[in-house]
Amino acid sequence: MLGPVLLAASRSDRMRQIVAAAPVTRPVVQRFIAGDELGPAMDTVRALTASGLQVTLDHLGEDVTDRATAHATRDAYLRLLETLAAAGLGERAEVSVKLSAFGQSLPDGGHDIALEGVRQVAELATASGTTVTLDMEDHTTVDSTLAVLHELRRDHPGTGAVLQSYLFRTEDDARALAVAGSRVRLVKGAYKEPANVAFQDRKDVDRSYVRALRTLFAGDGYPMVGSHDPRMIAIAQELAARHHRAADTYEFQMLYGIRTAEQRRLAEAGQRVRVYVPYGADWYGYFMRRLAERPANLAFFLRSFVPA
Ligand code: FDA
């Protein structure tokens, strides 16, 4: 019940001001966000990679409404890639981008503005020996994001994308992307979507996830299993065995701060595991989606308002 309310709040400027101003917010936010600045985030990246995990870094931000902010996003990613390369982490750390932070929804050429920005990021990523994955946002952006993926893969074939199993279209998209060299992160989906484009029942979302997993594991691409759900992880492992996939032909991905013991357990068992590490001051939308996913997170957050 509360999930849709929180997802609506994740796009409210008024709620953003209230939540961000509350002093008790910070410790709860820190569970999911690796810091407001790149410095602390790099400490997290070093610790994770030293323990055998890989990472994908997200410089937080979304829904930018002017070109200057879109350019600032691009510059933040260029700085991030330079920092990763200087730290010798290019092989273990890649970046995840939200095209809305690169200007995708700007009127008058938003798609092209985002493409040009992310192209520069992909060029530096390739030169540094790493990759970019395009996060997926609400359903209105999927065609544009997949078109950007298509463009980028011409010169940067390692560019990855995200498919969301709650969308009806995802089975078709998974089939189209299950091709050699194609990196696809499959997730359930984190936005509030209408019933004419997306499954509303969790069981249907799960069934769709399994169908897309089957397609991706049977294909020639590189599946990235973006889920904390033990059932989805077990099914992915069965599919990997059934298709005789070597451990370096797919990977598991989980979010920073969620099921960390399971991340380590899988890695110690010889699986490739990548942790999605968000950092930056614009954490509100990301944080609210994490609260919406799990009532226990919301209860923890609300309890922090009660004086001890
Ligand atoms: P599910 O929600 O069923 O959770 C299964 C179990 O995982 C829970 O029982 C709980 O133990 C744990 N869990 C899940 N969420 C939790 C939380 N917030 N806090 C604490 N425990 C939690 N979405 C999107 O729309 N676009 C995107 O680009 C991405 N990118 C992305 C990258 C990566 C690496 C991951 C793992 C996820 C995303 N997502 C995403 C988010 C995704 O769509 C989805 O909302 C969450 O992963 C939760 O779904 P699960 O598959 O984990 O299952």
Q: Domain tally for the chain? A: 1
In a domain, 132, yes or no: yes
The predicted pLDDT at position 38 comes to: 96
Query: Which tokens sit at 250?
Result: 């797919």
Ligand 1 site, residue 62, Cβ cutoff 6 A: no
Angle between helices 284-293 and 295-303 (to 10 degrees): 120
Own/partner long-range contacts of 149-153 (Cβ < 8 Å, ≥24 apart)? 151/115, 151/119, 152/115, 152/118, 152/119, 152/122, 153/181, 153/182
- What is the SS3 string spanning 242-270? HCCCCHHHCEEEEECCCCHHHHHHHHHCC
Rg of the chain in Å (alpha carbons): 18
Do 260 and 276 meet the contact criterion of CB atoms below 8 Å apart?
Answer: no
Do 198 and 167 meet the contact criterion of CB atoms below 8 Å apart?
Answer: yes
Residue 189, annotated as binding a ligand? yes
The predicted pLDDT at position 157 comes to: 98
In a domain, 299, yes or no: no
Whole-model pTM?
A: 0.95
CATH code of the domain in which 163 resides: 3.20.20.220
Ligand 1 site, residue 255, Cβ cutoff 6 A: yes
Give the pLDDT confidence of 232-263 residue by residue, as tens digits.
999 999 999 999 999 999 999 999 999 999 99
CA distance readout (Å), 197 to 39, 86, 107, 138, 298:
40, 43, 24, 11, 27
The predicted pLDDT at position 19 comes to: 76
Ligand 1 site, residue 274, Cβ cutoff 6 A: no
Domain around 242: 34-282
In a domain, 7, yes or no: no
User: Which of 255, 272, 283 gets mutated to test ligand 1 (max ligand atoms within 8 A of its CB)?
Assistant: 255
In a domain, 10, yes or no: no
Ligand 1 site, residue 258, Cβ cutoff 6 A: yes
Cα diameter, the chain = 57
In a domain, 95, yes or no: yes
Ligand 1, residue 188: give the atom nearest the CA: 43
Phi, psi of 153 (to 5 degrees): -70, -20
Do 50 and 270 meet the contact criterion of CB atoms below 8 Å apart?
Answer: no
The lowest-confidence range among 1-10, 110-119, 176-185, 230-239 is 1-10
To the nearest 10°, report the CA torsion of 268, 86, 100, 143.
Answer: -60
The predicted pLDDT at position 1 comes to: 60
First vs last Cα of the chain: how many Å apart?
28
In a domain, 4, yes or no: no
CA of 293 from ligand 1 middle (Å) equals 7
Question: Atom 50 (ligand 1): residue with closest C-alpha?
Answer: 227
Do 60 and 33 meet the contact criterion of CB atoms below 8 Å apart?
Answer: yes
191 forms bridges with which residues in the sheet? none
Give the pLDDT confidence of 139-166 residue by residue, as tens digits.
999 999 999 999 999 999 999 999 999 9
In a domain, 5, yes or no: no
Question: Atom 14 (ligand 1): residue with closest C-alpha?
Answer: 228
Give the pLDDT confidence of 19-46 residue by residue, as tens digits.
777 766 777 888 999 999 999 999 999 9
Residue 192, annotated as binding a ligand? no
Query: What are the catalytic residues?
Result: 135, 185
